């Protein structure tokens, strides 16, 4: 069976677009399939409600792909410090970029801006075909190619199909890959907030009785809220009028940036932990949320996915340059060995933090005590910062 493409990537979100951009300088013929046409980014548009805390490793990937300047010229917000505390008073820790000789700890970037910059990297590229809006309706494995059916009646064939279609990946299910998931019974309530005092380029996070609240500094001077809380409380927050909502947030963060004086529209998304039992099958691979989902308390989800994309691109380009089959299981397992262990460490570490600070009494007190202890131990704290920056571990070349 002949193949129409070398690689078909399903999902044109940030992670799928990163993989396509990373393959643009190869001779591989790539198709990028997306059910909904991506929304274009306009500099004059209101800030996207969905934002990411981009790590240094992800920034390096974006620089290597030639898209960082476009992002930085539009609007990003670097944050140079981070303050984390337990509302019960059990502990506090503060991070500063100066402590590890870095200019910042990361950047807050809007989803639509990031996606648009990546898609623009290969617009009209002769080796990359974009197909949207079209949904996938079936996946069939064959010895020498994978067949993908689309809702418009077309059937595409590729030497490799990559699923970047999110935590509820249909392709993962069709490929027969189990992905045990644990629902936290929480949702992340998001909004953009105006506060009395400036954010000062500092990200803030507080562990509350009912969850975790984070404030991320935005380029327009506001702060992006992510409040991870129980389903019932999330419903209450969404139903509040603006004044009551602002008061609730102000009280929860103990007026760390003064009172919250205004709030943008609100939305919420469910929180879960998920890790696929394997990342690959012959001629099939998972990346990003299709392979793993983590609690947002450290903002690592998209960064892990971008590292997946960079690692898989490196494996595929090395394999193609050597004249070998990019869809063979042996080749794809190199990618799986590279990324699955790294991701598992983050999945379970964040799950442990969530459980620790979601506990009460002595267990939670231990977590607060440990946080304060780390704050006083510079080598340990610096190790935490470097890991959060993504500048340690077995990194793909694009992230170095």
Per residue in 18-74, pLDDT (tens digit) is: 999 999 999 999 999 999 999 889 988 899 999 999 999 999 999 999 999 999 999
* Distances in whole angstroms, Cα of residue 325 to Cα of each of 62, 102, 153, 164, 316: 28, 41, 28, 21, 9
Per-residue pLDDT, 367: 56
Query: Given the structure tokens 């590890």, which residue do they identify?
Result: 100
* Distances in whole angstroms, Cα of residue 131 to Cα of each of 137, 182, 348: 14, 33, 36
Buried b (16+ CB within 10 A) or exposed e, 130-163: bbeebbbeebeeeeebbbbebeeeeebbbbbbbb
Is pLDDT above 70 for 369? no
pLDDT tier at 370, thresholds 50, 70, 90: low
Is pLDDT above 80 for 348? no
Is pLDDT above 70 for 82? yes
pTM of the model: 0.93
pLDDT tier at 356, thresholds 50, 70, 90: low
Among 112-116, 121-125, 133-137, 147-151, which stretch is predicted with the lowest mean pLDDT?
121-125
On the question of a cis peptide bond just before residue 133, with omega within 30 degrees of 0, the verdict is yes
CA distance 56 to 102: 10
Q: What share of the chain is helix, strand, coil (3-state, %, to 5)?
A: 40, 30, 35
Q: Which residues contact 355 (CB under 8 A, 6 or more apart)?
A: none
Is pLDDT above 70 for 298? no
Mean pLDDT in residue range 360-372? 55
């Amino acid at each position: 069976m002949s193949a129409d493409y070398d690689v078909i990537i399903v999902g044109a979100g940030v992670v799928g677009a990163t993989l396509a951009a990373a393959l643009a300088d190869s001779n591989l013929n790539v198709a990028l399939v997306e059910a909904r046409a991506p929304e274009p980014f306009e500099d004059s548009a209101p800030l996207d409600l969905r934002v990411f805390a981009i790590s240094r490793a992800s920034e390096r990937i974006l620089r290597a792909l030639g898209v960082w300047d476009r992002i930085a010229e539009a609007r990003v917000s670097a944050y140079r410090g981070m303050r984390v505390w337990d509302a019960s008073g059990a502990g506090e820790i503060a991070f500063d970029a100066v402590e590890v000789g870095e200019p910042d700890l990361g950047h807050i970037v809007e989803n639509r801006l990031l996606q648009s910059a990546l898609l623009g990297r290969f617009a009209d590229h002769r080796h990359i075909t974009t197909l949207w809006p079209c949904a996938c309706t079936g996946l069939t494995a064959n010895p020498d190619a994978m067949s993908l059916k689309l809702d418009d009646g077309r059937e595409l064939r590729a030497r490799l199909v990559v699923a970047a279609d999110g935590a509820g990946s249909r392709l993962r299910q069709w490929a027969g890959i189990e992905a045990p998931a644990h629902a936290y019974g929480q949702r992340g309530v998001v909004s953009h907030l105006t506060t009395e005092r400036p954010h000062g380029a500092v990200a803030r996070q507080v562990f509350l009785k009912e969850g975790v609240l984070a404030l991320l500094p935005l380029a327009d001077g506001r702060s992006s809220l992510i409040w991870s809380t129980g389903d019932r409380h999330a419903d209450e927050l969404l139903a509040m009028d603006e004044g009551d909502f602002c008061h609730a947030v102000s009280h929860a963060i103990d007026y760390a940036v003064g009172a919250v004086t205004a709030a943008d529209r609100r939305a919420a998304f469910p929180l879960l932990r998920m890790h696929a039992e394997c990342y690959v099958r012959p001629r099939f691979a998972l990346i990003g949320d299709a392979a793993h989902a983590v609690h947002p308390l450290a903002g690592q989800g998209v960064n892990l996915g971008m590292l997946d994309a960079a690692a898989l691109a490196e494996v595929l380009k090395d394999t193609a340059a050597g004249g070998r089959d990019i869809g063979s299981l042996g080749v794809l397992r190199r990618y799986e060995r590279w990324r699955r262990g790294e991701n598992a460490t983050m999945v379970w570490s964040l799950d442990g933090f969530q459980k620790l600070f979601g506990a009460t009494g002595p267990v939670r007190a231990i977590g607060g005590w440990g946080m304060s202890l780390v704050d006083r131990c510079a080598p340990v704290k610096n190790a935490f910062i470097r890991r959060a920056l993504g500048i340690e571990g077995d990194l793909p070349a694009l992230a170095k």
